């Protein structure tokens, strides 16, 4: 299903890259939650990822199928989830729906060894925090997870993530919590790169959310989007 030789050597999820993770646990302030759920039917992938994150100072619980993960995910909330998109039985995309991913408290990364854009878009639309390719180097993977946890723990804890001026406009109820967070960054004139850094997601994921927001609100371009959102917010 995936390029296991890439994990062990060329793509950095092997022993040499794992050894570099030992130093990561000493890198300043860490997020409060330290448990990561890894969901993958391939034992080699589970073992490699478990070792990578153990060396980075995280606790890891792994699952071989989506069903057992979904049960555990409803019983306790980890710091982060790495969920394989191509699981036997119910796929990763279906599992996102099972656990109501858009409202799940922990960031969920959908992982794929194929890197196809349509799957990435569908995963984000289904509530995944971000999409990662299994060919990503270990350093980058741990960094992405660390930033996602940091961004999530630093997020205000109130139930509504929208600034008051963005709380009421036509179509507001159509947007997910994550889309409201991205929209707030857009309204603050943040670039895609700046929004990605603030929210702890990839720039590509911000672009996907932006496109989906514009589609839901019927905006033709960024100026039209600002008019619909900010104009409505100041009209009353």
Find the mean pLDDT for residues 22-50: 72
φ, ψ of residue 29 to 5 degrees: the values are: -70, 130
> Is residue 9, in this structure, part of any structural domain at all?
yes
- Tell me, yes or no, whether 18 and 37 share the same domain: yes
Picking from 119, 154, 189, the residue at the C-terminal end of a domain is: 154
Please give the pLDDT value at position 99: 94
> Is residue 46, in this structure, part of any structural domain at all?
yes
b/e sequence 59-98, b meaning 16+ C-beta within 10 Å: ebebbebbeebbeebeeeebbbbbbbbbbeeebbbebbee
Range of the structural domain that residue 98 is part of: 4-154
- Tell me, yes or no, whether 55 and 140 share the same domain: yes
Please give the pLDDT value at position 30: 38
Contact 38, 68 (CB under 8 A): no
Of 12-21, 52-61, 133-142, the one with minimum mean pLDDT is: 12-21
Residue found under tokens 């799940």? 104
- Tell me, yes or no, whether 147 and 39 share the same domain: yes
Please give the pLDDT value at position 83: 96
pLDDT > 90 fraction of the chain, expressed in percent and rounded:
33
Which has the higher per-residue pLDDT, 168 or 20? Answer: 168
Which tokens sit at 35? 């448990």
- Asked whether residue 157 carries a pLDDT value surpassing 70, the answer given is no
Find the mean pLDDT for residues 97-126: 86
- Tell me, yes or no, whether 51 and 134 share the same domain: yes
CA dihedral 128, 134, 139, 145 (to 10 degrees): 10
- Tell me, yes or no, whether 74 and 29 share the same domain: yes
Please give the pLDDT value at position 227: 76
Please give the pLDDT value at position 106: 94
Find the mean pLDDT for residues 97-113: 91
**Structure confidence at residue 231 as a pLDDT band (50, 70, 90):** low
- Say which CATH number the domain at 199 has: 1.10.10.10
- Tell me, yes or no, whether 132 and 37 share the same domain: yes
Which tokens sit at 136? 């990503």
- Tell me, yes or no, whether 137 and 175 share the same domain: no
Of 1-10, 162-171, 212-221, the one with minimum mean pLDDT is: 1-10
- Tell me, yes or no, whether 76 and 186 share the same domain: no
pLDDT > 70 fraction of the chain, expressed in percent and rounded:
76
- Asked whether residue 178 carries a pLDDT value surpassing 70, the answer given is yes
Structural domain count, the chain: 2
> Is residue 159, in this structure, part of any structural domain at all?
no
- Tell me, yes or no, whether 19 and 86 share the same domain: yes
Of 109-113, 150-154, 180-184, 201-205, the one with minimum mean pLDDT is: 150-154
- Tell me, yes or no, whether 188 and 75 share the same domain: no
Give the contacts of 182 (CB within 8 A, at least 6 positions apart). Answer: 195, 199, 206, 209, 210, 213
Mean pLDDT of the chain: 78
Tens digit of each residue's pLDDT (9 = 90 or more) over 199-226: 888 888 888 888 888 888 888 877 777 7
Contact 123, 131 (CB under 8 A): yes
- Tell me, yes or no, whether 215 and 109 share the same domain: no
Distance between CA atoms of residues 165 and 232, nearest Å: 9
Which tokens sit at 24? 């990561």
> Is residue 16, in this structure, part of any structural domain at all?
yes
- Tell me, yes or no, whether 111 and 180 share the same domain: no
Please give the pLDDT value at position 156: 53
Edge-first strand listing for the sheet containing 35-39: 59-63, 35-39, 80-84, 108-112, 130-133
């Amino acid at each position: 299903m995936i390029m296991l030789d890439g994990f062990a050597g060329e793509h950095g999820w092997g022993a040499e890259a794992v050894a570099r993770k030992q130093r990561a646990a000493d890198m300043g302030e860490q997020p409060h939650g330290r448990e990561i759920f890894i969901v993958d039917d391939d034992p080699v992938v589970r073992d490699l990822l478990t070792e990578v994150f153990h060396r980075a100072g995280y606790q890891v619980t792994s699952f071989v199928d989506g069903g057992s993960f979904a049960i555990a995910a409803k019983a306790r909330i980890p710091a982060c989830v790495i969920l394989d998109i191509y699981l036997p039985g119910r796929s990763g995309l279906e599992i996102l729906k099972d656990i109501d991913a858009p409202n799940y408290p922990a960031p969920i990364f959908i992982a794929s060894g194929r890197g196809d854009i349509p799957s990435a878009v569908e995963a984000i639309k289904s509530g995944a925090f971000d999409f990662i390719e299994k060919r990503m180097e270990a350093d980058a993977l741990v960094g992405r997870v660390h930033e996602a946890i940091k961004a999530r723990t630093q997020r205000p804890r109130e139930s509504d993530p929208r600034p008051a001026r963005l709380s009421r406009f036509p179509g507001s109820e159509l947007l997910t919590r994550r889309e409201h967070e991205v929209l707030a960054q857009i309204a603050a004139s943040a670039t895609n790169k700046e929004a990605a850094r603030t929210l702890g997601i990839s720039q590509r994921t911000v672009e996907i959310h932006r496109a989906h927001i514009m589609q839901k609100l019927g905006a033709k371009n960024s100026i039209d989007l600002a008019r619909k959102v900010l104009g409505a917010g100041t009209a009353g």
